Amino acid sequence: MSSIPTLEGVTSQIVQTARLEMHMLLTGPRDGTPILFVHGNGASATFWEETMLALPPGFRAIAPDMRGYGDTEPLPVDATLGLGDMVEDLRSLVEALGMSRCHIVGHSMGGGIVMKYAIAHPAELLSITLVDSVSPYGYSGSRGVEGTPCYDDGAPAGAGSVNPDFVRLLGAQDRSIDNPVSPRNVLRQFYVKPPFIPQREEELLSSMLSLRVGEDWYPGDTGPSPHWPGVCPGKRGIVNAFGRKYFDASTFADIQPKPGVLWIRGADDMIVSNNAFWDIAALGAMGFVPGWPGAEECPPQPMVDQVRSVLDKYRTNGGAYREEVIADAGHSPFIEKPDEFNGLLHPFLEA
């Protein structure tokens, strides 16, 4: 069923939910304790396969492709819901599978989906693991640990902040290394820390290329703005959906009950950091995007500090969390440093 070859021991299945047809990968016994694995942007369930296979006995891993990714029905993404349609898709899958309580793990954008899922359904979660997660205030377009928007219209975040050459090469299914922003080069330079090259690079690249390109998906549509860089997020597409204009998961700190939280991140992550290479404000500060209005008006987003600030509030409000940093790893420590990653995840799940 999967259009991307899977590892031995991983099964592929299509499920018709009340909202859409969802493709998912599965490992472990049918009666095992369920763990939902939610992938990030520019990825699919394929990214989780080794992690799923390495789980201790007694766990059932379920990794869906979200809408617009992999082999799930590519329904449009309503950006104004701030990833809310993906939360409801995930909920419809849980209901279709007849699941009750489960663990949940989210990577990058998937961390944002997980935080919003926890806001909506906290009592159903046994634990929450955030892996190099997007900030509770989305990606780009905010300042300070409180996530104050830089501009009311959402600039400079959103679809207009994405490199158009990368979008073009994604749409062309480019597998070369000819262009610095080809999908393969982006995978090697940003998804992992160079010079590491994943053993299953071809499958991971196919996973990236499964991302639907267009105004309804990646990156989305844009509107004019009087603010730098001259465009603001539109109402459609994935990059707009996790931009600051529409995405805010800061009430995660207030959920009741409060499952235990494990926050794992790569020490050298260049995608989610306090000076991220995909944050257009950070690129402007580095001189790569002309016209940057300066740090007072549009500073680089302190993504890591924002995550920590909300998790500190979670703790103050009665919850518990641990922050773990994996050395010499980039944005995907579960692929780059699986032994270290699993050594953190497995005891947390079993506890």
| pLDDT tens readout for residues 297-314 | 999 999 999 999 999 999
Q: Is 30 helix (H, G, I), strand (E, B) or coil?
A: coil
Give the residue-averaged pLDDT of 130-148.
97
Residue 1 has pLDDT above 90, yes or no: no
Task: Report the percentage of the chain scoring pLDDT > 70.
Answer: 100
Beta strands in 245-284 (DSSP E): 260-266
Distances (CA, A) of 130 to 23, 208, 292, 315: 22, 20, 32, 15
Residue 100: half-sphere exposure toward Cβ, Cα within 13 Å: 3
Q: Burial code of 153-165, b = ≥16 C-beta within 10 A, e = fewer?
A: bbbbbbbbbbeee
Q: What's the whole-model pTM score?
A: 0.98
Q: Mind listing the domains of the chain with CATH numbers?
A: 11-350 (3.40.50.1820)
**Mind listing the pLDDT tens digit for each residue in 35-46?**
999 999 999 999
Q: Give the whole-angstrom CA distance, residue 280 versus residue 140.
A: 7
**Mind listing the pLDDT tens digit for each residue in 54-91?**
999 999 999 999 999 999 999 999 999 999 999 999 99
- Which pLDDT value is given to residue 120? 98
Beta bridge partners of 104: 36, 128
Copy the structure tokens of residue 21.
């047809």
Q: Give the whole-angstrom CA distance, residue 156 versus residue 141.
A: 5
The packing angle between helices 109-120 and 84-96, to 10°, is 70
How many helices (H) does the chain have, and how many strands (E)? 11, 14
Give the residue-averaged pLDDT of 116-133.
98
Q: Give the whole-angstrom CA distance, residue 232 versus residue 327.
A: 36
Q: Give the whole-angstrom CA distance, residue 108 versus residue 204.
A: 15
Summary mean pLDDT of the chain: 97
The H-or-E segment that residue 15 falls in is: strand 11-16
Residue 100 has pLDDT above 90, yes or no: no
